[in-house]
Amino acid sequence: MPETEVKATISKSTGLPRKRFYRARAHSNPLSDSHFPVPISPSQFDYSLHYPQIFPSSDQADGSRKIQFADIGCGFGGLLISLSTLFPETLMIGMELRDKVTEYVKERILSLRVANPGQYQNVSVVRTNSMKYIPNYFEKAQLTKMFFLFPDPHFKEKNHRRRVISPFLLDEYAYVLKAELEADPVVKLLSSATEEGQKVARNGGQTFQAVFRRIVPSDKTS
């Protein structure tokens, strides 16, 4: 069939990217060697690339403002977009392994920034394997919240090593997280703002929330 017009990946009416051009498989192999750029250390992470209005030039990393929220496996960015307006002073980032989906989130954020001047400047996305490279992006006790929404359970024994939440990876997440506990307005958003949560609600399913507490290091309990 001859194509008479170029398919617009960004919708003309809303200015937002159209999901159908950014569809990707649900799974991307987290075990494979990846060749996307990874910052050598958290100090090398270029904030001006992700938050251009807040950090106009790349030498202005004065260390006063750091990323505090991280959405691991952000997918199409639903949670990040809702969190951005709820916490306008907090810097947040989404991490996603699939490149097409990351492109979608990037386009979405850019279009939202254009359509709503001054808003959505505190949110960004990066394509990375968070299971391997979290220490490269965040310093010790930098984050206040980490989101792992709808992690794949990987029921089969042979796939247990692909789980995002595992005893070993929890050590790394504990390292980048600050030790704090508070009642949170975010909890409601977990099931309503994400695409996955909306899908579950559409199909009339149930969502479950689990709460865990950090074990205090033994030499500090006295």
Q: Which residues are annotated as a binding site?
A: 73, 96-97, 129-130, 149, 194-196
Q: Examine residue 25 and tell whether it contacts another protein (CB under 8 A).
A: yes
Scored b (16 or more CB within 10 A) or e, 173-200 reads: beebbeeeeeeeeeeebbbebbebbeee
Catalytic, out of 46, 99, 152, 184: 152
Q: Examine residue 170 and tell whether it contacts another protein (CB under 8 A).
A: yes
What mask of x and - would describe binding to another protein in positions 41 to 60, judged by CB under 8 A?
xx------------------
The annotation places the binding site for S-adenosyl-L-methionine at 73, 96-97, 129-130, 149, 194-196
Q: Could you give the CA distance from residue 26 to residue 106 in angstroms, rounded to a whole number?
A: 18
Residue 152 appears among annotated catalytic residues: yes
Q: Examine residue 140 and tell whether it contacts another protein (CB under 8 A).
A: yes
Q: Which of 16, 169, 186, 200 binds another protein (CB under 8 A)?
A: 169
Sign of the four-CA dihedral 51, 54, 59, 61 = negative
Q: Which are the contacts of 17, defined by CB distance < 8 A and separation ≥ 6? A: 9, 10, 11, 104, 107, 108, 111
Q: Examine residue 33 and tell whether it contacts another protein (CB under 8 A).
A: yes
Q: Examine residue 30 and tell whether it contacts another protein (CB under 8 A).
A: yes
Q: Which of 21, 133, 148, 150 binds another protein (CB under 8 A)?
A: 133
Q: Which of 155, 217, 221, 222 binds another protein (CB under 8 A)?
A: 217
As measured in angstroms, the least distance from the Cβ of 55 to another protein is 21
Question: Taking a C-beta distance cutoff of 8 angstroms, is the pair 130, 72 a contact?
Answer: yes
Closest CA to 138 of 79, 69, 81: 69
Q: Which of 4, 13, 64, 218 binds another protein (CB under 8 A)?
A: 218
Scored b (16 or more CB within 10 A) or e, 118-143 reads: eebbbbbbbbbbbbebbeebbbeebb
Burial of 73 (0-12, 13-18, 19+ CB in 10 A): buried
147: β partners: 71
Closer Cβ to another protein, 81 or 143, answer by number: 143
| Site for another protein, rule CB under 8 A | 25, 30-31, 33-35, 40-42, 131-133, 135-136, 140, 161, 167-172, 174-175, 215, 217-218
